[in-house]
Amino acid sequence: CMLCRWAEADPDICGCKRAKKGLCAHTYCLFLASGLLPQESRNSFLIEDTRCTIQEAAQKHCFVCSEMGAAITCREKGCNRSFHLPCASEGECVTQFFGLYRACQPQHC
């Protein structure tokens, strides 16, 4: 997955892999990635938006594992902590897999 950088992540946590035009990402990684919004009525993402999100994530450290490529940023205003979706449970982060698909680090739950 180009967002979480895990090849073999648990599909119950990250969802199935989606591949399109040279990009590969888990379903839930796409939905929870900061700044990435699905197209209305299709549950798909624009390729260019996805590429931009991947590039932005490449500059962010995961506060759980300290590796680069953290695509999910805490939804609390003023908090800039980012993390990978597979690291979320280890870091005690909360992820919401319905409605707004939000995530936050433990201090802001």
* pTM recorded for the entire structure: 0.79
> Which tokens is 105 given?
């680090």
Encode pLDDT of 66-98 as tens digits: 999 998 887 778 888 888 888 887 766 767 655
Q: Which residue has the higher pLDDT, 102 or 88?
A: 88
- Residue type at 37 in one-letter notation: L
Return the pLDDT at 55. Answer: 92
Q: Kindly state the average pLDDT of the residues 12-36.
A: 88
Euclidean distance between CA atoms 89 and 64, whole angstroms: 10
Give the DSSP letter of residue 64.
T
For residues 81 and 55, the answer to whether their CB atoms sit within 8 Å is no
- Angle at 56 (CA atoms; ends 52, 57), nearest 5 degrees: 115
Return the pLDDT at 99. Answer: 54
Return the pLDDT at 35. Answer: 78
Q: List the one residue out of 18, 71, 67, 72 whose CA is nearest residue 45.
A: 18
Encode pLDDT of 38-68 as tens digits: 776 566 888 999 999 999 999 999 888 999 9
The Cβ-side half-sphere exposure at 27, using a 13 Å CA radius, reads 9
11-102 CATH choice from 3.30.70.260, 1.10.287.1770, 3.30.40.10, 1.10.600.10: 3.30.40.10
